[in-house]
Structure 1
C-alpha cells in the first residue's frame, strides 16, 4: 500500500516547478501502478503550449478556472472545478489559467518518472529509467 500526503512532496524533487505550473507528483513509474498521478497548479493568467506526443493524460479540475484550446480544431473549452478533460488523441493544446489558479488532478500513461519537463515542442520525453 502507498500512502502519501501533499505535505510530504512540498520542497522535494517530487514538486516540479515549470514556471506556469507546479506539479506535485504523487505516483510515478517507480511505484509500479502503470500510471502516474499528479496534483498540479496552473498559475492564474498563464498560457502553456502542450503536446503530449508520447503520453495520454486525463485531468480533473478541483479548484479554480481557465480554459483549454484544442489547436487541431480551434475549439476552446472552459475549465472550472468539476470539469474533466482527457487528451486521448495526443492533441496539441494551449492551457490557460484564468482569474484564479487552477488545481488539477492529472493522470498519465505511460507513467512519468518524475523528472520530465516540457521540451521546446511542449512534449514530455518518454524516460525509461527512474
Structure 2
C-alpha cells in the first residue's frame, strides 16, 4: 500500500514548477501503478501551450475557472466539477482567468517519472 499526503509531496522533489503552473506529482512511474497522479495548479491570468504527444491525460477541476482551447478547434470553459480528457494527443492552450487560479487533479498514461516539464512545443518527453 502507498499512502502519501499532498503536503509531504509538495515539500519534496515531487513538486515541479514553471512560470504558469505547479505540479505536485503524488504517484509516479516508479510506483508501478501504470499511471501517474498529480495535483496541478494553473496560476491565475496565465496561458500554457501543451501538446502531450507521448501521453494521454484526464483532468478534473477542483477549484478556479478558466478555459481549454484545442488548437484548430473549440474552446471549452473549465470550472469546478469539469472533467476533460486529452484522448487524441490534443494540442491545446490552457488558461486560468484573472483571480481564478485553477487546481486540477490529473492522471497520465503512460506515467511520468517526475521531473518532466514542457519543451518548446508543449511536449513532455517519453522517458523509459
TM-score (norm 1): 0.96
Structure 2: unaligned runs, 5 residues or longer: none
Structure 1 residue aligned with 2:86 = 87
Structure 1: unaligned runs, 5 residues or longer: none
Counterpart of 1:30 in 2: which secondary structure? helix
Residue 2 in structure 1 maps to residue 8 in structure 2: no
Counterpart of 1:78 in 2: which secondary structure? strand
Residue 114 in structure 1 maps to residue 111 in structure 2: no
Structure 2 residue aligned with 1:70 = 70
RMSD: 0.7
Q: How many pairs align?
A: 127
C-alpha distance in 2 between matches for 1:18 and 1:107 = 19
Return structure 1 stretches of 4+ with deviation > 2 angstroms: none
Counterpart of 1:69 in 2: which secondary structure? strand
1:22-68 CA-to-partner distances (Å, cap 9, x unmatched) read 00000000000000000000001000000000000000000000000
